[in-house]
Structure formats: structure tokens, C-alpha cells
Amino acid sequence: MSDRPLLPLAGEPPRERADAARNRDALLCAARRLVAERGAADVTTEAVAEAAGVGKGTVFRRFGSREGLMAALLDTSEAAWQGEVLGGPPPLGPGAPPWERLEALGRTLVAKRLLHADLLRAAGRSGARSLAAYSFTAMHVQHLLRELEVEGDLLFLTTALLAPLEIPVLDALVHHDRDIPRVADGWVDLARRITRRPFPGDPSPTYS
């Protein structure tokens, strides 16, 4: 008789069967590749299942729905970005001055969210960012503002910096003929004004 416990030990997360974990990884890899090739709107559960070499029912067992699959893709992207913030190379990761980290945060989020806009729509309500994901970004921004010795209500200033990075706002900006670099430059301009950083070519702060 096996000495493996029938239930997880106290405090341990439930173990996922090896075959279930393999199917999940295969489906996520296939979905990621198809979204990159076709765009999220044109990716079906049938196509993902076929590309992953599993039955269509496996998609629903692992993710519940097509929206759930797209939301899982977003989760993996968010987790990877958070990992870069916490331990990746500078300037997004540790080791760079706080202003450089704040600028890198804004630029990477503009690019990531605009590139994933179709994926966010395909994920529907399942793709709505969790409170934990928002809180991670907000806490990091507040930390950087403190390091920059910004005065004022940091909660409201952080909200002002993060609001333009939401997909509805970014979509509206892009529809006004602004490409990703121009949107990112606009966000950096806002961040400079909030943090009172000097503008390029101006050694003195813009505000007294």
C-alpha cells in the first residue's frame, strides 16, 4: 500500500495531477501562440484544443470557458510582469533610481495593455483585473513616489497615474491617432508633472 497521503497535508495547496498540469500548460502555450498569430477574437476553443493535441472538453475542464482560458493567459502575463518588477533587470526591476523605475513601469504597462487589449475583451468579465493585481501595482507606485519624496496624498496621486493605463482610456487615446510610443510619452509627461521631475534639457524642476 502506498505511503502517499490521500489528502494534502495541512497548509499545503491541493496537488494537481501531472497529466492535468501538462494539459493546462499545453493549452496555455497553444492559446498564446494562436493569439499572437491570429488575434484573440479569431481564436476558438476548438483551434486551441487541436493545437494542444487534446479534446475540446479538456479546455472546459481546465478553464471553464473560452473566457476563462483567455483570462488564464492574462494571469500568466500579469505574473510574469510582477516577477520582472520584483526581481527582473533594471530599470523595471530593482537596482535603478526610482524615477527610472517609475518611467519603465508606465511604458511597459502601456505597451502590455495595448498589445493585450483584444485578449482583455475576449476574456470578458473573467479578464477583469483582480484587486490583488491592482493593489500590487498601486503599492509599487506609492513606494516609488515616496522614494522620489513626492508630497501630497499619495493614494490620489497614484490613482491619477494609474487611471490612464486602464484599457478604456488607452483605447480612446489610440483611436485619436496616438500610437503606443506617443501614448507612453504622454504618460511619462504626466508622471514628470506629478513628481515635479525636470524635463529633458531643463536642469531645474518645472514647478517651484
Confidence of residue 105 (pLDDT cuts 50, 70, 90): very high
Phi, psi at residue 13, to the nearest 5°?
Answer: -70, 150
Across 32-45, b (16+ Cβ under 10 Å) vs e yields bebbeeeebeebeb
Pick left, alpha or beta for residue 197 (phi over 0 → left; psi -120 to 50 → alpha; otherwise beta).
beta
C-alpha cell at 84: 520582472
pLDDT of residue 202: 64
**Domain parsing of the chain, residue ranges:** 17-64, 73-195
pLDDT tens for 44-80 read 999 999 999 999 999 999 999 998 898 888 888 889 9
pTM exceeds 0.85, yes or no: no
d(CA 204, CA 208): 9
Confidence of residue 7 (pLDDT cuts 50, 70, 90): very low
pLDDT tens for 10-29 read 444 444 567 888 899 999 99
8 Å CB contact between 81 and 166 = no
Mean pLDDT taken over the chain: 84
Could you say which of 1.10.10.60, 3.90.950.10, 3.40.50.150, 3.30.450.90 is the CATH number of the domain covering 17-64? Answer: 1.10.10.60
CA dihedral 2, 6, 7, 12 (to 10 degrees): 10
